Amino acid sequence: MRILVLGGAGFIGSHLCERLLGEGHRVIAMDNYITGSRRNVDHLLGHAHFSLIENDVTISCDVDESLDAVMNLASPASPVGYLDNPIETMKVGSHGTYNALELALRKGARFLMASTSEVYGDPKEHPQKESYWGHVNSIGVRSVYDEAKRFAEALTMAYYRKHNLRTRIIRIFNTFGPRMALEDGRVVPNFVRQAVNDEPLTVYGDGSATRSFCYVTDLVDGMLRLLWSDEPNPVNVGNPREMTMTEFAQAVLAAAGPECRSTIAYVNPGAARVADDPQRRRPDITRARTILGWEPQVSLEDGLRETLGYFRAVRNRAA
Ligand code: UDP
């Protein structure tokens, strides 16, 4: 198969490209490096079936070969990433998604939209099922991401209904692993970076907010099962093991081992960073289980060990 991965030099995109190449597909990665990095796919550049194209999909999106699938992962995705790039985030969710859908239509390709648990906002239902419509502040600081992804879902469904395009929508919950950007401000890279540097782990507020963390290879597996399925409606993919940020900090310290001298520090990162911060998040993955036969395989502890190893290697290279 020939597959175009938009956002292919991002954290998840790079793992997706790697997996697709491993399965024998031809992979074209497109990225404008706004938050992704060429370094994430350096190791794939010599592969005979891999190409990397620098391009801004908000302006245009085209390739001069046939395609079997277009996978749209292009967007800043961390709170710091989209708070720093609010207009670009709205443009990639809207113009970028439109350009990507038009390309899929021209090529007769399948289309997968990488959506997010942020479409549920600060949820009033717990855990979150796909049938929940969400609780989003349309003018809050996070709205540039949340509403762009909600728009992208709506546009994807419009192409499904109007053109019978084979569209898929994955709602990605918190995902982690090697190649997360060290400075992207999310809780996993922050805690892991702090742990490998023996610095205090910065828990925001009282540490009672919850998340559930899925290892990136599990996420990619769910994403591909969905791509090749016949399911046009959104499917949550994430790990249902929910924990508070205090419990997560403790898990990072345990995985870092006794030689790590970090402690836990409760800090106030400023109003903008925590405004509309969802207080609870856990996916209901019944649909992924029943429709895709998908279940996460990698434990938090194993995933953290891999991620710590990657962050240590990056630290040692920089030293
Ligand atoms: N958080 C934290 N310390 C950090 C970074 C984030 O306690 O150094 C908290 C944040 O307030 C939120 C949770 O961790 O409650 C997850 O935040 P993240 O930025 O990873 O992404 P989100 O799930 O909000 O998209």
**Residue of 212, 174, 197, 185 whose CA lies nearest to 311:** 197
pLDDT of residue 274: 78
The DSSP secondary-structure symbol of 254 reads H
* CA 292 remoteness from chain centre: 19
Tell whether the model's pLDDT for residue 7 goes beyond 80.
yes
Indicate if ligand 1 lies below 6 Å from the C-beta of 190: yes
Indicate if ligand 1 lies below 6 Å from the C-beta of 186: yes
Mean pLDDT of 6-19: 98
In this structure, the number of other CB atoms found within 10 A of the CB of residue 250 comes to 15
CA of 117 to the centre of ligand 1 (A): 14
| Sign, Cα dihedral of 279, 256, 217, 47 | positive
Does residue 145 carry a catalytic annotation?
A: yes
* Mean pLDDT, the chain, integer: 97
Domains of the chain: 2-176+214-240+282-297 (3.40.50.720)
Tell whether the model's pLDDT for residue 273 goes beyond 90.
no
pLDDT of residue 190: 97
CA of 251 to the centre of ligand 1 (A): 15
Mean pLDDT of 267-281: 86
CA of 202 to the centre of ligand 1 (A): 10
Q: Which atom of ligand 1 is nearest to the CA of 204?
A: 7
Tell whether the model's pLDDT for residue 23 goes beyond 80.
yes
Can you tell me the distance from the alpha carbon of 93 to that of 100, in angstroms, rounded to the nearest whole number? 10
Q: Which residue puts its alpha carbon closest to atom 24 of ligand 1? A: 277
Residue 64's contacts (CB-CB under 8 Å, 6 or more residues apart) are: none
Residue 11's contacts (CB-CB under 8 Å, 6 or more residues apart) are: 36, 40, 77, 175, 177, 179, 180, 181, 216
Question: How far is residue 15 from each of residues 172, 201, 265, measured CA to CA in Å?
Answer: 14, 27, 32
Tell whether the model's pLDDT for residue 166 goes beyond 90.
yes
- Give the helix/strand (H/E) hosting 82: helix 79-84
Name the pTM for this structure. Answer: 0.97
**Residue of 209, 205, 313, 316 whose CA lies nearest to 269:** 205
Best residue among 35, 187, 244 to mutate for probing ligand 1, ranked by most atoms within 8 Å of CB = 187
Can you tell me the distance from the alpha carbon of 104 to that of 68, in angstroms, rounded to the nearest whole number? 8
> How sure is the predictor about 276, in pLDDT bands with cuts at 50, 70 and 90?
confident
Q: Which residue puts its alpha carbon closest to atom 5 of ligand 1? A: 187
Indicate if ligand 1 lies below 6 Å from the C-beta of 202: yes
Indicate if ligand 1 lies below 6 Å from the C-beta of 283: no
Q: Which residue puts its alpha carbon closest to atom 14 of ligand 1? A: 187
Indicate if ligand 1 lies below 6 Å from the C-beta of 204: yes
Share of the chain above pLDDT 70, in %: 100
Can you tell me the distance from the alpha carbon of 237 to that of 288, in angstroms, rounded to the nearest whole number? 7
Indicate if ligand 1 lies below 6 Å from the C-beta of 277: yes
Can you tell me the distance from the alpha carbon of 38 to that of 33, in angstroms, rounded to the nearest whole number? 7
Catalytic residue among 145, 159, 160, 215: 145
Q: Which residue puts its alpha carbon closest to atom 16 of ligand 1? A: 187
Residue 283's contacts (CB-CB under 8 Å, 6 or more residues apart) are: 117, 127, 128, 171, 173, 212, 236, 237, 238, 239, 240
Residue range 45-95, pLDDT digits in tens: 999 999 999 999 999 999 999 999 999 999 999 999 999 999 999 999 999
Mean pLDDT of 119-144: 96
Indicate if ligand 1 lies below 6 Å from the C-beta of 203: yes
